[in-house]
Structure 1
Amino acid sequence: MYINATGFYVPAGRVPNQYFLDVNGLTSEWIEKRTGIKTRSKAAPDENLDTMSKAAIQNALPKLPYDISEVDLIIAASYSPFDTVATPAHVAQRDYNITNAKALYLSSACSSFMNALEVVEGYFAMGKASKALIISADHNSAYSNESDPKAGHLWGDAAVAVFISKDRYSENEGKIVEIYTQGLGHIGKGPEGVHLRPRKGGIMMPEGKDVFVNACTYMPQNILHLLEKNHFTLDQLSYFIGHQANMRIMSNIAKQLNLPEERFLSNIEELGNTGSVSCALVYAQYVDRFKKGDLVGITVFGGGYSTGACLIQF
């Protein structure tokens, strides 16, 4: 599988740490020290999951080597729907007249994009699709409770569009070497670690310590598993992109793997935790940096719990 084009949309609005002092009593210094976040992106009142998704697609189209109407599989990957019936996949199908595509919605918390990638792999293997569009978007500010001192200050909004084909279209495309995912609902606090219940406070993370410990365990473990399975060494990994939940998690992983800071790509300082979008968004933001011979590792950990990783080679 090959990544043909990526596009993204990040709302212009930014919420600084200082905002939360009067909202949940947390100081800017406290938030930055414990999360690495200085500001977070916030959608405008007239923006939603669908508008952000469409903007991400528009951003990708100039780089797409074929007409979007050739796409035969559209997956919306998210946990924060604008409409629980019609999804960004179906909206995109209508807006761009993609008449021959299957369209579906997939949710597995912050692992949603990685699981969508694996679903694309399955459709390609079955011969049921050959060109796919994954739209990963989360409108966290529509669900977050800013007064919650445990997690109300974490969330950002964004969308990313990733076009993938079974066959290569150019030498500059990243080849997806392998994808690995795993459900972890049976470990630790599992389904109660992070949850989204609009009638009971929206997005909540009552078991932050448990999330932290397991994220620090499974994200590096996934990358090491894929590297070993595909006969790569850690030294051959050009860039590491981890789920943008907390910079302390990235620092912990960097120490575990003994990887230099310059190999870690991140956007959490400015955008906060953008949910299932975060890793794909970092990839899309830095894609022009990747050159022939680079090996990029992406690894995620999501509430519920779920986890996964993939290797992309240029």
Structure 2
Amino acid sequence: MQDRAPRITGIGHAVPPRVVTNDDLAARLDTSDEWIRSRSGIGTRHHVDPGTATSDLAAEAGALALKHDMRSGGTGHVDLVVLATTTPDRTCPGTAPLVATRLGMGGIPAFDVNAVCSGFLYGLQTATAMVAGGAAGSVLLVAADTFSTIVDPDDRRTAFLFGDGAGAVVLRAGTEPTVHAIDLGSDGTQEDLIITPGGGSRSPGSDERWFAMQGQAVYRQAVDRMTRSTRGVLERVGWGVDEVDRFVGHQANSRILEAVAQRLGLPVERVVMNLDRVGNTAAASIPIALSDAHDRGLLVGGQKLALAAFGGGATWGAAALTWPDLPRA
């Protein structure tokens, strides 16, 4: 139905105040600022302090998106909350109901989605389908992760990559869509590429609590899957690569983003990057990058955007959007 077209009407993001620099990591690990920047493009990241949880960042980002929604003519209230996260406050229950309650919307449906770094795109598909199908007139989609709580701080291979943060968007039913198409995929045979081995029903008593990743294999798969998924979603909406004004990929590694842009034939200056300041914030990275780019004036109403991500599972996805004309703070 034409009046059920999902539109983005609000956006916001939040990162914890504590900044961790490459030099901070080099003071206790066998690494250096030059080594980290050359391999990832990351200069700083934000980490939560003890006592701060994923729900705290999620609620903060959600509140900002709802406030932005009101400035865009919305009500600041939604029918559904979807939270994409790999680091919930607890294994049970889900974290989304707590976030909804903290935002003053207790009683509405709320649930978690776990697709690791592809979580925002999986959540976006869920939210847009709910709006387009009439199950919800409005959805708050939050993606939040605190990977500093599951990454071994003494692991030189992973400790420098991750930051904590949350990003959120409000989607409402309208007459003209801003989200045009989403492509998703998964491959469970590659679950070991990105994994936290212990804590689940497979190994409940395991001491393997820390996140692990096969870096080179992840790089190859991420470049391949993000490229193919982006091409697929552009074909579905009939856009040529030259029509894409901004490419916003999962902010995992600058080399991955540059390689995807090169394979697509997209000029690197159209690639949105903020990982140099926030690191890899997992599911939160795309909405944080979108919110940051909007705040900096890099996104303008009417621009054609392509989004893409690769995450544990393995999971991947891409989306084609027309950026809405949203007010700035």
Scaled by the length of structure 2, what TM-score is found?
0.87
Range with bigger deviation, 279-288 or 267-276? 279-288
Partner Cα separation in structure 2 for residue 137 and residue 98 of structure 1: 18
Partner Cα separation in structure 2 for residue 292 and residue 160 of structure 1: 19
The corresponding residue for 1:8 is 13
Instruction: Report the residue type matching 2:212 in the other structure.
Output: M
Q: Does residue 24 in structure 1 map to residue 29 in structure 2?
A: yes
Residues 124-163 of structure 1: matches in 2 within 5 Å?
124-163=131-170
Q: Does residue 184 in structure 1 map to residue 165 in structure 2?
A: no
The corresponding residue for 1:211 is 218
SS at match of 2:179: strand
Q: Is the 8 A contact 1:24 1:146 kept in 2?
A: no
Match of 1:273 among 271, 280, 283: 280
Q: Gaps (5+ residues) in structure 2?
A: 1-5, 199-206, 324-329
Q: Is the 8 A contact 2:12 2:62 kept in 1?
A: yes
What is the CA-CA distance between 1:242 and the residue it aligns to? Answer: 0.9
Q: Does residue 35 in structure 1 map to residue 40 in structure 2?
A: yes
Give structure 1 regions of 4+ aligned residues with deviation exceeding 3 angstroms: none
Instruction: Report the residue type matching 2:179 in the other structure.
Output: I
Q: C-alpha offsets along residues 54-106 of structure 1, whole Å, 9 cap, x if unaligned?
A: 1112222332133333x111111100111223444212322233255211111
Match of 2:126 among 110, 119, 131: 119
Range with bigger deviation, 104-113 or 159-168? 159-168
Q: Does residue 311 in structure 1 map to residue 316 in structure 2?
A: no
SS at match of 1:301: strand
Partner Cα separation in structure 2 for residue 23 and residue 204 of structure 1: 20
Instruction: Report the residue type matching 1:301 in the other structure.
Output: F
Q: How many residues align?
A: 305
Partner Cα separation in structure 2 for residue 84 and residue 34 of structure 1: 33
Q: Gaps (5+ residues) in structure 1?
A: none
Change (3 A) 1:54 1:251: same
Q: Is the 8 A contact 1:72 1:100 kept in 2?
A: no
Change (3 A) 1:147 1:96: closer
The corresponding residue for 1:252 is 259
Q: Percent identity?
A: 27
Partner Cα separation in structure 1 for residue 262 and residue 300 of structure 2: 26
Partner Cα separation in structure 1 for residue 96 and residue 103 of structure 2: 11
The corresponding residue for 1:44 is 49
Q: C-alpha offsets along residues 272-311 of structure 1, whole Å, 9 cap, x if unaligned?
A: 1100100111011112432243101110000221000111
Q: Does residue 232 in structure 1 map to residue 239 in structure 2?
A: yes
SS at match of 1:85: coil
Q: Does residue 94 in structure 1 map to residue 97 in structure 2?
A: no
Instruction: Report the residue type matching 2:105 in the other structure.
Output: I
Partner Cα separation in structure 2 for residue 67 and residue 197 of structure 1: 43
The corresponding residue for 2:193 is 193
Change (3 A) 1:197 1:2: same
Q: C-alpha offsets along residues 129-172 of structure 1, whole Å, 9 cap, x if unaligned?
A: 1210111100111111021122121110001121111225xx9x
Scaled by the length of structure 1, what TM-score is found?
0.91
What is the CA-CA distance between 1:22 and the residue it aligns to? Answer: 4.4
Q: C-alpha offsets along residues 183-202 of structure 1, whole Å, 9 cap, x if unaligned?
A: 1223xxx1111112463141
Instruction: Report the residue type matching 1:48 in the other structure.
Output: A
Partner Cα separation in structure 1 for residue 259 and residue 103 of structure 2: 43
Q: Does residue 290 in structure 1 map to residue 299 in structure 2?
A: yes
The corresponding residue for 1:175 is 178
Q: C-alpha offsets along residues 212-232 of structure 1, whole Å, 9 cap, x if unaligned?
A: 001110112111111122111
Change (3 A) 1:99 1:50: closer
SS at match of 2:174: coil
Q: Is the 8 A contact 1:68 1:96 kept in 2?
A: no
Instruction: Report the residue type matching 1:194 in the other structure.
Output: I
Partner Cα separation in structure 2 for residue 302 and residue 76 of structure 1: 16
Instruction: Report the residue type matching 1:264 in the other structure.
Output: V
Partner Cα separation in structure 1 for residue 298 and residue 26 of structure 2: 37
RMSD of aligned Cα (Å): 1.8
Range with bigger deviation, 292-301 or 86-95? 86-95
